[in-house]
Amino acid sequence: MEKKRRYLKLRVALMENGMTIADLAERLGMDKCSLGNRFNGRAPWKLSEVYDTLEILDLPIELAADYFRLEDLHSNLKPETPANRVKTLLMLIDHYKNELSNLQREEDVAK
């Protein structure tokens, strides 16, 4: 039986951007092996790594679930219970609020 490759869509996005896992690791400021462990499911992703990866690849945050599996996020963020799901959603909402505020500030400065 053929082993399914994890993060195939994310790997394709890397290739489309002319990047390798090593390139992404460098941009994230982390070791290539550490990032490889995340791609292979041996280590959890931190939420900040997810956001930074999406930003580096110029992918909208709204598509995070298309590229990352929530169950592979850092253990304290895993949506194992309804309460943890709510915490994760609230963190995402806070992130969006901060991004919106930053965009509004940039727009105000540009005027």
Distance, first Cα to last Cα, the chain: 59
Query: pLDDT value at position 1?
Result: 38
Query: pLDDT value at position 101?
Result: 86
pLDDT beneath 50: ranges in the chain: 1-2, 76-77, 79
